Amino acid sequence: MTDAPLLRLSDVHVRLTGSHILQGVDLSVRRGGVTALLGRNGAGKTTTVKAVLGLVPCTGTIEFAGASGRIERIDGRRTHEIVRRGIGYAPEDREVFAGLTVAENLALAERRNSAHHHDRVFELFPELKQRSRQLAGTLSGGQQQMVAIARLLLNDNQLLLIDEPTKGLAPLLVAEVADVLARAAEEVTILLVEQNLTVVQRMAQDAVVVDQGRVAWSGPAGDLLADADRTRELLGVATSGGGGRL
């Protein structure tokens, strides 16, 4: 592993309907492992992820090293072009296609410049195979999250952007999702937005904390979680007692 980052944001600003939401975000994600993107509600985590994908207009520089390994600017490019460089995205609200079946949701996610690992997906989520003809809109929230994660793992990616995958899930399912993502992280780099600090503790090597549209802290995830005062100050929670949900 070289030290060159896989993804780098420099002085990224996002303005939406008159409000200045990201106010100069600088962060980098190194190749391999999991980087946690943390922050209070409304801090700008989702907006940061959307800026990388070109889903919101931004200024500043966003660079990404695709499969070629050469780092290139991706800001200003169109979303589908950015994604085709090898980025998978699981949005905060899952956004599976309710009117399509599970099988159709997966077929739609098959990216044309990638191999498609249906076997891997069904091995991780056997339930999706049984339910392949069910409309995704009739799945439970947890099952929908499985579809959203399956879409990520179907293609060969360099980077996964995963926005709060455990949001609203029962504890058992939180553990299952964390297991799946931990397995995925052995092969692909993940930028993980996550409020559940237990999950962060288990998975993330690095952490970036955003606050009011700026990066307030970045460094090894262990250092942050070990420092209860700093965690409380940055995230507004106490980590004692194993770090529950915010």
Partner 1 sequence: MTTLVLLTITGLGLAALYFLVASGLSLIFGLMDVLNFAHGAFLTIGAYGTWWAAGNLPGAGESGWGFVLAVVFGVAVGTLVAALIELLLIRPLYQRHIEQVLVTVGLSLALVALVRAVWGADPRPFPRPGWARGTTSILGANVPNDRFLLIVSAVVVLVAVLAFLRFTRVGLIIRAGVENRTMVTALGIDVRKAFTLVFAIGGAFAALAGALGGIYLGSISPGQGTSLLIFAFIVVVIGGMSSITGTAAAAVLVGLVQQFANYYAASGVGDLSVVLLLAVVLLARPSGLRARLA
Q: Pick from 8, 40, 45, 111 the residue near partner 1 by CB under 8 A.
A: 111
Query: In 110-243, which ranges are continuous DSSP H helix?
Result: 118-124, 126-130, 141-154, 171-184, 197-203, 221-226, 228-235
Interactions with partner 1, residue window 38-67 (CB under 8 A): 53, 55
Interactions with partner 1, residue window 68-107 (CB under 8 A): 78-80, 83-84, 89, 91, 95, 97-100, 104, 107
- Tell me: does residue 94 bind ligand ATP (CB under 6 A): no
Q: How far is 49 from 67, CA to CA, in rounded Å?
A: 20
Q: Which residues contact 59 (CB under 8 A, 6 or more apart)?
A: 11, 12, 13
Three-state DSSP at 188 gives coil
Report how far apart, in Å, the C-alpha atoms of 43 and of each of 20, 199, 211, 215, 237 are: 12, 20, 5, 10, 15
User: Whose CB is nearest to Mg ion?
Assistant: 46
Tell me the closest approach of the beta carbon of residue 80 to partner 1, in angstroms. Answer: 5
- Tell me: does residue 16 bind ligand ATP (CB under 6 A): yes
Q: How far is 199 from 242, CA to CA, in rounded Å?
A: 10
Tell me the closest approach of the beta carbon of residue 126 to Mg ion, in angstroms. Answer: 30
Tokens of 149: 């994660």
The helices-and-strands tally (H runs, E runs) of the chain is: 10, 10
Q: How far is 134 from 130, CA to CA, in rounded Å?
A: 9
- Pick 56 or 135: Cβ nearer ligand ATP: 56
Tell me the closest approach of the beta carbon of residue 56 to Mg ion, in angstroms. Answer: 12
- Tell me: does residue 46 bind Mg ion (CB under 5 A): yes
Binding mask 52-91 for ligand ATP (x = CB under 6 A): ----------------------------------------
Site for ligand ATP, rule CB under 6 A: 16-17, 19, 21, 39, 41-47, 92
Site for partner 1, rule CB under 8 A: 53, 55, 78-80, 83-84, 89, 91, 95, 97-100, 104, 107-109, 111-113, 151, 155
